[in-house]
Amino acid sequence: MSYDRVEVPTNGSQIEAVDGGFDVPDDPIIPIIHGDGIGVDIGPAAQKVLGAAAEATGREINWMRLYAGESARERYDENLPEDTLEAFREFNVGIKGPLTTPVGAGYRSLNVALRKRLDLYANVRPTYHIDGVPSPVKDPDAMDMVNFRENTEDVYAGIEWEQGTEEVEQVREFVEEEMGYDNTIHEGEVGIGIKPITEFGTKRLVRRAIDYALENDRDSVTLIHKGNIMKFTEAQFRDWGFEVANEEYGDEVITEDTLWEQRDGDVPEDTVVVNDRIADAMLQWLLLRPEEYDVLAMPNLNGDYLSDSAGAQIGGLGIAPGANLGDGRVLAEPVHGSAPKHAGNDEANPTAMILSGRLMFDQMGWDDASQKIYDAVEGAISSKKVTYDIHRQIDGGEKLATSEFADEIVDNI
């Protein structure tokens, strides 16, 4: 299709979505948003590294520059133009840097808006330690976990009514008088919100998490929820998740209860164990027993908390990758925000966006290029050639600018 203010590369071929996967040419067109704030630094750095990894494996990426946030306001006078959405829909696989949602923008979050508009329902965040990255825990290598966070529901799709408005009083009256929950809400000013969690949204996320565990030889999938308090949303997430495990996977999956009741804890070979944990308790197990957990599946808000906490244990969000997955669609993005005070200083750490690109390559089936990126990043960091955020935490080493760090990784490739 034609675009208003976006240049489509004259060379390159389109990635096609086929049978739950992708048909990827050796010269794909890949859309990229550099992002706001430090995106002006880390976006080009990541683009350079990903291009080098593709070239080193006999391929060529044809980048298609897209715009959202500040760059879109300059180009389109809006935050999320249709050009950007349509390009991601047409070319199926892309990557973006962090975006800042300005006050009064009409969106709660541009990141959330992109995920919802493109129906990227699974936010996937692998958490693993890279040699040389300082960590606040004694054994960061004990964590090798992949978080599947539902992207389209929960409080991020919630409806809220502002305190002091006629609407919030109507809701209060409905809850107290018509629904029979009198004396539930304190007198005086109140803000009220509701959150949806659906069978459809839950099951497709849990299905995706179990499929990942089976395809990648992972031992378990843990459903994270606050169902002991929220019986009809979070507990229902757990119940619907177990329905998927029990009804759709046969002998490939066994639930934790069945495992202990019928097999005394002896896990059958090539079987994924599905269990569940309360969200607040899981924050404890992340610290005390990270090696016992492989894949986590959870509603949106729990996924935000848990994945950030997991990222802290392996060195922080500056190195934490992520990707948003839909049916036949991938949009990779780093976990961290836009850090505007560091924008344009050529000092931010681009590792998270680079490793998000690696995750994009994994989805494309470019395992060789993905491994080259990992090895090159680890080689730079383990040799103490790092950006300022890591350099200030280690003894010795060489402090590199964002662009210099990208060059070091390219040299390693």
Q: Would you name the residues annotated as active-site residues?
A: 156, 226, 280, 304
Between CA 255 and CA 272 the distance in angstroms is: 8
Write out the E strands in 229-280. Answer: 253-255, 272-278
Give the distance, in angstroms, between the CA of residue 374 and the centroid of all CA atoms in the same chain: 18
Q: Under DSSP, is residue 200 helix (H, G, I), strand (E, B) or coil?
A: helix
| DSSP secondary structure code for residue 383 in this structure | T
- Residue 3 is labelled as binding a ligand: no
Q: Is the dihedral of CA 313, 108, 360, 370 positive or negative?
A: negative
- Residue 5 is labelled as binding a ligand: no
- Count CB-CB contacts under 10 A for residue 83: 20
Q: Under DSSP, is residue 402 helix (H, G, I), strand (E, B) or coil?
A: helix
- Residue 109 is labelled as binding a ligand: yes
- Residue 289 is labelled as binding a ligand: no
Q: What angle do CA 206, 207, 210 make, to 5 degrees?
A: 85
* Nearest alpha-carbon partner for 333 in 140, 162, 114: 114
Q: Under DSSP, is residue 266 helix (H, G, I), strand (E, B) or coil?
A: coil
- Count CB-CB contacts under 10 A for residue 299: 28
- Residue 266 is labelled as binding a ligand: no
Half-sphere exposure at residue 324, Cβ-oriented, CA atoms within 13 angstroms: 25
Largest CA distance in the chain: 69
- Residue 304 is labelled as binding a ligand: yes
Element (DSSP H or E) covering residue 357: helix 351-364
Between CA 411 and CA 168 the distance in angstroms is: 59
- Count CB-CB contacts under 10 A for residue 283: 16
* Nearest alpha-carbon partner for 371 in 358, 381, 382: 358
Phi–psi pair at 129, nearest 5 degrees = -90, 140
Between CA 98 and CA 32 the distance in angstroms is: 12
DSSP H stretches of helix in 20-153: 39-56, 70-76, 82-91, 110-117
Give the distance, in angstroms, between the CA of residue 162 and the centroid of all CA atoms in the same chain: 30
Between CA 27 and CA 17 the distance in angstroms is: 16
- Residue 121 is labelled as binding a ligand: no
* The pair of three-digit structure tokens given for residue 268, joined into one six-digit string: 């059958």
- Residue 75 is labelled as binding a ligand: no
Q: Give the annotated binding-site residues for Mg(2+).
A: 304
Q: Give the annotated binding-site residues.
A: 100, 109, 111, 115, 125, 149, 304, 349, 388, 392
Q: Give the annotated binding-site residues for D-threo-isocitrate.
A: 109, 111, 115, 125, 149
Q: Give the annotated binding-site residues for NADP(+).
A: 100, 349, 388, 392
